[in-house]
Amino acid sequence: MKLPVSWRASATAAVAAATLLTSGSIAGAASKADVEAAAAPDIPVANVKAHLTQLQSIATANGGNRAHGRPGYKASLDYVKAKLDAAGYTTAIQQFTSSGRTGYNLIADWPGGDTNQVVMAGSHLDSVSSGPGINDNGSGSAAVLETALAVSRAGYQPTKHLRFAWWGAEELGLVGSRYYVNNLSSANRAKISGYLNFDMIGSPNPGYFVYDDDPAIEKTFKDYYAGLGVATEIETEGDGRSDHAPFKSAGVPVGGLFTGASRTKTAAQAAKWGGTSGQSFDRCYHSSCDTTSNINDTALNRNSDAVAHAVWELSE
């Protein structure tokens, strides 16, 4: 669904330049883009859901999961990679070993932009072995994939360079993302202006949580939600529990979105967001019932649009 973009006028070149001087923030130098920003397109939630249907089919055909070291993981990676290759991305598979099994990260670069200023968006593509992992984390994986495809459809040529990533073995302890960060040279690490993480963004009893990390990234998400008239809260269900943590440890500005895992929705949260108080945000967290039925379409739609909004806004 397309929403008003009147909030965009609030970004000023002066603020961006000041932030650049005073911190390691993602906010870049002023450019003509600050006054003539190209708005992010609407991300069709039907397309995002179609990716989830495919990931569900992959799990069903491979013993019910898409876990590290299992055939459903590699099949998931091949599915995402084929879409990106067809859309004009330069893709690379990064292989690693964890618990005696081969794991894979998928990295997709969009040709163009200043490679000294890289904006990354990523999500973990592996599930736990106990289920298909459609909310955790088909949701983030599908939204990032559809945003990457939208970049291609729009022929978007931002000032900065765009890189998308799908991580392996997050469920074994952030293994794939840590491997990626550890294997970057310090020069290449310094070129990453920001890393945006999307892990569980379609929870069935959703909350709207924004990571409290890089201020410019956080503001980008909060402004997006303010434009929708939807309240957000700071993510507190375990900072450091997803793939932004290795980037943050390496000094890269990070941010992200989350709709909640096993924690219980309070009455106050149900009053502002709807849903059911006294119940987990995701009752199927790490369970066999984390299927395509375990998705709130409104949350998935809003967050998919928020992913695209942030990717566009932070790379222009």
Instruction: Show which residues are catalytic.
Output: 170
Query: Measured between alpha carbons, how far is 228 from 230 in angstroms, rounded to an integer?
Result: 5
Query: Measured between alpha carbons, how far is 172 from 183 in angstroms, rounded to an integer?
Result: 18
Residue 295: exposed, middle, or buried by beta-carbon count in 10 A (0-12, 13-18, 19+)? buried
> Is 170 among the residues that bind ligand TRP (CB under 6 A)?
yes
Query: Measured between alpha carbons, how far is 21 from 95 in angstroms, rounded to an integer?
Result: 37
> Is 136 among the residues that bind Zn ion (CB under 5 A)?
yes
Query: Measured between alpha carbons, how far is 295 from 135 in angstroms, rounded to an integer?
Result: 6
Closer residue to ligand TRP in complex, CB, 11/165: 165
Nearest distance from C-beta of residue 238 to ligand TRP, angstroms = 4
Cα 63 to chain centroid, rounded: 26
Nearest distance from C-beta of residue 74 to Zn ion, angstroms = 19
> Is 306 among the residues that bind ligand TRP (CB under 6 A)?
no
> Considering CB distances under 5 to 8 angstroms, the limit depending on partner class, which of ligand TRP, Zn ion, none binds residue 8?
none
> Is 290 among the residues that bind Zn ion (CB under 5 A)?
no
Closer residue to ligand TRP in complex, CB, 117/296: 296
Q: Interaction with ligand TRP in 224-253: which residues (CB under 6 A)?
A: 235, 237-238, 241-242
Contact 87, 111 (CB under 8 A): no
In SS3 terms, 75-138 reads as HHHHHHHHHHHHCCCEEEEEEEEECCEEEEEEEEEECCCEEEEEEEEEEECCECCCCCCHHHHH
Q: Interaction with ligand TRP in 271-300: which residues (CB under 6 A)?
A: none
CA nearest neighbour of 197 among 143, 133, 251: 143
Closer residue to Zn ion in complex, CB, 136/243: 136
> Considering CB distances under 5 to 8 angstroms, the limit depending on partner class, which of Zn ion, ligand TRP, none binds residue 109?
none
Q: Which residue stretch of 99-107, 129-137, 173-181, 234-242 sits at the interface with Zn ion (rule: CB under 5 A)?
A: 129-137
Q: Token pair for residue 38?
A: 């190209």
Enumerate binding residues for Zn ion (CB under 5 A): 136
Q: Which residues bind ligand TRP (CB under 6 A)?
A: 136-137, 170-171, 199-200, 235, 237-238, 241-242, 258, 261
